[in-house]
């Protein structure tokens, strides 16, 4: 829940004086984040301590803490860099804003993630793993890195898996898929032509496509088709950011959920192999 959503929800439970502060905030959040406490109190026709009490009533340490979090929530930020930061932010402010932005997005996703869709995806991936079918991860650009991370996690489960970030290779690989195989397609925007083509080919060949993208996007429509699976990942980060951050964290989290679910379904026979991998990796360490 965002700061403004939290204030709207709490407003009816607040004392009348604090309600006036909340209404002032909702009328102009940007001004509230920059005005001194004296002016805020004057505009709301309350005392300065009432402004501070309002901030504490809605879950913050005080006015300074509230205004810092509010600024990260309502500012447009620095174009192409990060929506929550400003040009003149100090390192201490960057730490708070970037982490708070990520945590808020993760909590929002925790509440919105469709458990039934994850259940279907975990079942499909587990069956593909048990039967020795192919599990392929497709992504381009930043999503291609997430696809590589997914392949790195899944191959340790002893399943037949690859990651593709080249559009031509994706098309060729999708063409060789068949019933029982899974293609996991990862995209921030859901509008990449390469991924749309690969997902459509995989679907036509009878593979189960598991789409990790923003709901309402063209790629998401493929995940809504019969027999396919959409794991919608919505976030406030726009697609013009030079280096997407929140979307990458959410996609990695979705992959972690899938990996954990599949590992649990593959059961006890998987654990001796994982233990052996750990033992072999210890020999590569130079320091104890």
Sign (positive or negative) of CA dihedral 212, 214, 217, 221: positive
**In sequence order, what DSSP letters do the residues of the chain get, joined into one string?**
--HHHHHHHHGGGS-HHHHHHHHHHHH-HHHHHHS-HHHHHHHHTS-HHHHHHHHHHTT-SSHHHHHHHHHHHH---BTTTBTT--TT--HHHHHHHHHHHHHHHHHHHHHH--HHHHHHHHHHHHHHHHTT-EEEEE--THHHHHHHHHHHHHGGGT-EEEEE-SHHHHHHHHHT--TT-EEEEE-SSS--HHHHHHHHHHHHTTPEEEEEE-TTSHHHHHHTSTT-EEEE---S--TT-SS--HHHHHHHHHHHHHHHHHHHHH-TTHHHHHHHHHHHHHTT-S--
Both 123 and 190 in one domain: the answer is: yes
| CATH number of domain containing 174 | 3.40.50.10490
Task: With respect to residue 265, please indicate whether it lies within any of the assigned structural domains.
Answer: yes
| CATH number of domain containing 10 | 1.10.10.10
Task: With respect to residue 16, please indicate whether it lies within any of the assigned structural domains.
Answer: yes
Q: Which of 7-11, 180-184, 265-269 has the lowest mean pLDDT?
A: 265-269
Both 180 and 257 in one domain: the answer is: yes
Statement: residue 174 has pLDDT above 80: yes
Task: With respect to residue 283, please indicate whether it lies within any of the assigned structural domains.
Answer: no
Both 70 and 209 in one domain: the answer is: no
Task: With respect to residue 202, please indicate whether it lies within any of the assigned structural domains.
Answer: yes
Both 163 and 30 in one domain: the answer is: no
For 235-278, what is each residue's pLDDT tens digit? 766 555 556 688 899 999 999 999 999 999 988 777 787 788 87
Both 140 and 225 in one domain: the answer is: yes
For 26-68, what is each residue's pLDDT tens digit? 888 878 888 899 999 999 999 999 999 999 998 888 888 888 7
Task: With respect to residue 4, please indicate whether it lies within any of the assigned structural domains.
Answer: yes
Sorting pLDDT into bands at 50, 70 and 90, what band is 189? confident
Q: Return the pLDDT at 77.
A: 47
Q: Return the pLDDT at 129.
A: 94
Both 188 and 69 in one domain: the answer is: no
**Number of residues that this document lists for the chain:** 288
Task: With respect to residue 278, please indicate whether it lies within any of the assigned structural domains.
Answer: no
For 96-141, what is each residue's pLDDT tens digit? 777 877 887 788 888 888 999 999 999 999 999 999 999 999 999 9
> What's the pTM value of the predicted model, to 2 decimals?
0.71
Q: Return the pLDDT at 195.
A: 97
The number of domains in the chain is: 2
The two tokens of residue 89 are 């932010």
Cβ proximity of 255 and 146 under 8 Å: yes
Residue 21: domain span? 1-74
Both 123 and 21 in one domain: the answer is: no
Both 22 and 128 in one domain: the answer is: no
Task: With respect to residue 141, please indicate whether it lies within any of the assigned structural domains.
Answer: yes
Statement: residue 80 has pLDDT above 50: no
């Amino acid at each position: 829940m965002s700061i403004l959503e939290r204030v709207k929800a709490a407003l009816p439970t607040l004392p009348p004086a604090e309600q006036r502060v909340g209404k002032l905030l909702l009328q102009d959040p940007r001004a509230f984040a920059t005005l001194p406490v004296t002016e805020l109190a004057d505009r709301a026709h309350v005392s300065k301590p009432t402004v501070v009490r309002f901030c504490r009533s809605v879950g913050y340490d005080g006015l300074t803490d509230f205004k810092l979090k509010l600024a990260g929530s309502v500012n447009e930020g620095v174009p192409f860099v990060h929506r929550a930061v400003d040009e003149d932010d100090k390192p201490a402010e960057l730490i708070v804003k970037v982490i708070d932005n990520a945590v808020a997005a993760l909590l929002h996703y925790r509440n919105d993630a469709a458990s039934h869709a994850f259940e279907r995806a975990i079942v499909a991936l587990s069956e593909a793993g048990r039967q020795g079918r192919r599990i392929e991860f497709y992504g381009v650009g930043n999503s291609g890195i997430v696809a590589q991370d997914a392949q790195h996690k899944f191959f340790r489960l002893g399943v037949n898996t690859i990651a593709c970030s080249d559009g031509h290779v994706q098309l060729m690989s999708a063409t060789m898929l068949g019933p029982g195989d899974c293609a996991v397609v990862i995209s921030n925007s859901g509008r990449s032509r390469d991924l749309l083509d690969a997902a459509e080919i995989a679907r036509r060949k009878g593979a189960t496509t598991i789409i990790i993208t923003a709901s309402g996007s063209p790629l998401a429509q493929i995940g809504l088709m019969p027999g396919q699976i959409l794991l919608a990942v919505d976030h406030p980060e726009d697609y013009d950011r030079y280096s997407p951050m929140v979307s990458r964290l959410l996609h990695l989290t979705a992959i972690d959920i899938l990996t954990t679910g599949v590992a649990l379904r593959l059961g006890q026979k998987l654990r001796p192999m994982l233990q052996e991998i750990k033992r072999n990796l210890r020999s590569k360490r130079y320091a104890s």
